[in-house]
Amino acid sequence: MPTPIWRELFGQADAIAQLEQAVKTRDQGVQHAWLMTGPPGSGRSNMAVAFAAALLCAEGGCGTCRSCTLAMSGNHPDIDVLTTEKVGISIEEVRNLVLSAQMGGSMGRYRIMIIEDADRMAERSSNVLLKALEEPPTGTVWILCAPSEADMLPTIRSRVRRITLKTPAVEEVAQLLVERDSIDRALALTVAAEAQSHIGMARRLATSVDARGRRKDTLVAALDIDSVTNAMFTADRWIDLARRDAEALTTERDSEEREELLRVLGVEDTSKLPPYARADVKTLEESQKRRATRSLRDGLDRILVDLLSLYRDVLMLQLVAEVPLVNEGLKTQISSVANRSSAQQSLEKLRQIELARTRIAANVKDQMVLEALAVNLRTKP
Ligand SMILES: [Zn+2]
């Protein structure tokens, strides 16, 4: 039976068993570098934090002691998390982390350094990290998170122990939403498919009518593109939808984090901040502000991922593949596009969407990328 710290992590029994084993045998030494790989939404970062918490807890992850509470709320002094607020991780950020790794733990025996999206490190930054992995100070544990092993330099790969997370099935995600969040079963199945098994996204689609509405508007707008004029209009519409979605998501997440911090600090009346809490709240607000700059780009990427699912559905109908559609709710419109175009054209559209994702990630101007994409997604009336 796993210790309680893993309770929130879902569908990853194999990974958890390996990490638990490492915690259980920590007195004989802990592997000093780990790589958690798995698709977005599989819970890579949460798994990394839970592992860090378990290593630092005297009980191996009780979930309730002071150390566990601090760790799970992101406030443990011996855990450093490098999250990417920018498109890439800068060499300075890695250098600072490496310096901080030299300090050793203040509360416990370990100092744990987590790098989320470690795949966003350019080669130069990776080399700085590599040095640190080659000569680790005792008690320092590095946890890197990335979509796949292939995203990391071979020199780094050879120094880490890999933990692979899997994508849960649509049915499993739906079950979780029913049990954990009391979501209606039919809705849970629909959103789990729409979110392509991304747990956080599925929950958001189930609980926010607005978020679900924006997703639908994005896809319907794409299916309706039949002329260049209409394509230009659609590109503007997508940017507007991405902006509104990013703003909503940022607001939701910011207030959740603030509540959690105040709870940890023991502030009961949240309307007036006691002086001792002000510095921590200010630090949180500053990091939230920095993060907001990346959120529009993430919003655009969500749109592109949704568009991929849409044209995959079109292609499935064209190939007469008997598989459930991701976007079952739009079946009529999807069939119509499938009838008016060829599988060859759908494949080309999928290729264009992937290209747009690469260009957005490479900082090409949003408007330009989306206009070009919209033109390529036209279907003759
Ligand atoms: Zn504990």
Give the distance (Å) from ligand 1 centre to CA of residue 152: 32
Q: Which pTM value belongs to this model?
A: 0.74
Burial class of residue 182 in the structure, from the number of CB atoms within 10 Å of its CB (0-12 exposed, 13-18 middle, 19+ buried):
exposed
pLDDT value, residue 10: 77
Give the distance (Å) from ligand 1 centre to CA of residue 72: 10
Give the distance (Å) from ligand 1 centre to CA of residue 326: 40
Give the distance (Å) from ligand 1 centre to CA of residue 60: 7
Selection from 241, 238, 242, 223 nearest residue 377 by Cα: 223
- The whole-angstrom distance between residue 355's C-alpha and the CA centroid of its chain comes to 21
Give the distance (Å) from ligand 1 centre to CA of residue 217: 45
Instruction: Give yes or no for a contact between 184 and 152, defined as CB atoms under 8 angstroms apart.
Output: no
Residue 35 three-state SS: strand
Selection from 44, 52, 34, 15 nearest residue 133 by Cα: 34
Give the distance (Å) from ligand 1 centre to CA of residue 331: 49
pLDDT value, residue 337: 97
Give the distance (Å) from ligand 1 centre to CA of residue 150: 34
Number of Cβ within 10 Å of residue 163's Cβ equals 23
Distance, in Å, from the CA atom of 188 to the CA atom of 179, rounded to the nearest integer, reads: 10
Distance, in Å, from the CA atom of 160 to the CA atom of 30, rounded to the nearest integer, reads: 12
Give the distance (Å) from ligand 1 centre to CA of residue 61: 5
Instruction: Give yes or no for a contact between 222 and 307, defined as CB atoms under 8 angstroms apart.
Output: yes
- Phi, psi for residue 185 in degrees, rounded to 5: -60, -45
Query: Six-digit token pair at 55?
Result: 């290593």
Give the distance (Å) from ligand 1 centre to CA of residue 279: 26
| 302 Cβ neighbours under 8 A, 6+ residues apart | 201, 242, 245
Considering just the CA atoms, what is the radius of gyration of the chain in Å?
22
Q: Could you write out the three-class secondary structure of 77-135? A: CCEEEECCCCCCECHHHHHHHHHHHCCCCCCCCCEEEEECCHHHECHHHHHHHHHHHHC
Number of Cβ within 10 Å of residue 356's Cβ equals 25
pLDDT value, residue 197: 87
Instruction: Give yes or no for a contact between 202 and 178, defined as CB atoms under 8 angstroms apart.
Output: no
Torsion angle of the four alpha carbons 90, 94, 100, 101, in this order, in degrees rounded to the nearest 10: 170
pLDDT value, residue 167: 85
Give the distance (Å) from ligand 1 centre to CA of residue 134: 30
Give the distance (Å) from ligand 1 centre to CA of residue 41: 25
Query: Six-digit token pair at 260?
Result: 């959690």
Give the distance (Å) from ligand 1 centre to CA of residue 53: 7
Mean pLDDT by 10 residues, the chain (381 residues): 77 92 94 90 88 95 91 89 77 89 78 91 88 86 91 89 90 91 95 91 93 96 96 96 90 84 78 81 80 79 94 96 92 96 97 94 90 96 86
